[in-house]
Amino acid sequence: MTGLTLNGQIGSERGDVFLSSAGAGGMNKLTANDALVDSLHQTAWNFTFLTVEFYSSGYGVGFNTKNGAVNATTGGPGVTTYISNGSPWLQINNGSNSDGSGNLVSYPANTLVIRADGSRYNSNTSRDFVSYLNGTYNSANYTTNLVPATTAATRKIAYGTVSDGSAYMASGRRLYGLALFNTMLTQAQLDAIRASFQRRWSV
């Protein structure tokens, strides 16, 4: 973990405990990826990233398992989450091409949110994507041809950093919690998680 400040007390269950970035923050995994993380971009992928977070003006990058810039089609294979044009994006990269979801939900600045980005591989010409933000759930199916990579992710999983140093957690961004699920969560499942989280956070 670098460039992040803990606001609050470790172990506290208060809703105002979070990691904040001054503009160059992020977390990098020290040990090797497990099988799930290395397979997030491979055939039969099925997963959901979830965070409780806040940003003011800039975002940067979220989860990341690929080398190179945030939304570059090269540098993979791997997966990345980020914000573009006020919308959450999830990108899956095979090393030379990429597929991603975006513009499914709007992500307002200066608002505490529960955010989820999920995807499920059905075939090379059928991939499901979901975006969830504070109760709004939208999905899409993509049918362009994309052949998944068979090799492992090109970097250890990180949150808030990219390998070339071109993006971090932007200044003013806060991270309250994060999780990775080994399935693409349904709206009912995410609504249940949100209801539980609302005992601690106003999301």
Q: Is the pLDDT of residue 71 over 80?
A: no
* Ranges 75-89, 90-104, 140-154: which has the least confidence: 90-104
Please tell me the pTM assigned to this model.
0.94
What distance in Å separates the CA atoms of residue 139 and residue 33, rounded to the nearest whole number?
A: 28
Name the pLDDT band for 148 (thresholds 50, 70, 90). very high
What pLDDT shows up at residue 57? Answer: 85
What distance in Å separates the CA atoms of residue 144 and residue 66, rounded to the nearest whole number?
A: 21
Residue 52's domain is classified under what CATH number? 2.60.120.200
Query: What is the tally of structural domains in the chain?
Result: 1
What pLDDT digit, counting tens, does each position of 15-48 carry?
999 999 988 889 998 899 999 999 999 999 999 9
User: Is position 197 within any domain?
Assistant: no
What pLDDT shows up at residue 2? Answer: 83
User: Is position 39 within any domain?
Assistant: yes
User: Is position 54 within any domain?
Assistant: yes
Q: Is the pLDDT of residue 117 over 80?
A: yes
Q: Is 156 exposed, middle or buried (0-12, 13-18, 19+ CB in 10 A)?
A: middle
User: Is position 189 within any domain?
Assistant: no
- Determine phi and psi for 17, rounding to 5 degrees: -100, 125
- Find the mean pLDDT for residues 55-82: 88
**Helix, strand and coil in the chain, % to nearest 5:** 5, 45, 50
Domain boundaries, position 119:
2-9+17-177
User: Is position 133 within any domain?
Assistant: yes
User: Is position 198 within any domain?
Assistant: no
What distance in Å separates the CA atoms of residue 40 and residue 46, rounded to the nearest whole number?
A: 7
